[in-house]
Amino acid sequence: MGLSYGIIVPVLFTQISKQASERNKGGLLALATSSQTLGVIIGSVVSGKLVTLLGVRYPFLAVGLFFISLALITPLFKKD
């Protein structure tokens, strides 16, 4: 997770920085950082509940399926 997080976050913030106008860049980067933090909080709470209800195996399965689905739909959004 740390490896993927260390790769995805800089790429994401670089793309946001490249696509945003100078006027909106700071606000968009702040929004991205806030969304990232909110995702960490929500993900921790949801995975904790899943572990409590279903056991340890199912949260890993859910996250794996989520990442596989992201990998499958990401090429659809790529601009040439």
Residue 80 pLDDT > 70: no
Q: Write down the mean pLDDT value for the chain.
A: 86
Task: List the domain range (segments joined by +) for residue 80.
Answer: 47-80
- Number of compact structural domains in the chain: 1
CB of 18 closer than 8 Å to CB of 26: no
Residue 31 pLDDT > 80: yes
pLDDT of amino acid 79: 73
Domain contains 1: no
Q: Which residue has the higher pLDDT, 6 or 53?
A: 53
Residue 13 pLDDT > 90: no
pLDDT of amino acid 7: 83
The burial of 62, by beta-carbon neighbours within 10 Å (0-12 exposed, 13-18 middle, 19 or more buried), is given as: middle
Residue 42 pLDDT > 90: yes
Domain contains 30: no
Domain contains 67: yes
Domain contains 73: yes
Residue 74 pLDDT > 70: yes
pTM for this model (two decimals): 0.62
